Amino acid sequence: MLDFYGVPWDYEPTTFVLDRDEQGRVTSAFTPDFYLPDQDLYVEVTVMRQALVTRKNRKLRELCRLYPDVRVKLFYRRDIERLAQRYRLRLAS
């Protein structure tokens, strides 16, 4: 869809460190799926089961706390399905 509308995007260009151990080794990190450079916006898409979504939500909150200047949006399965419905059913036409 981004390609269709000519919106530039990168796939997983950045990994954000969320936690390190005492030796400085990374113990937790988060890599959003997409980066939209023109919007300076990261987009994470999750279509996985709820338990994993909860874990991802936690990481996302941590990312927002540690990197308050980073703009990131999380798209759930329901969001993707809604968009698919709207575009497939040509609501925008």
Q: Work out which of 36, 53, 70, 72 binds another protein, going by CB under 8 A.
A: 36
User: What's the gap between Cα 92 and its chain centre?
Assistant: 25
Q: How far is CA 68 from CA 31, 32, 55, 65, 92, in A?
A: 16, 15, 20, 6, 34
Q: Work out which of 11, 22, 51, 54 binds another protein, going by CB under 8 A.
A: 11
Q: Work out which of 16, 41, 56, 72 binds another protein, going by CB under 8 A.
A: 41
Measure the CA–CA gap between 68 and 52, rounded to whole angstroms: 23
Query: Does 49 contact another protein by CB under 8 A?
Result: no
**Interface residues with another protein (CB under 8 A)?**
1-7, 11-12, 33-34, 36, 38-39, 41, 43, 45, 47, 73, 75, 77, 79-93
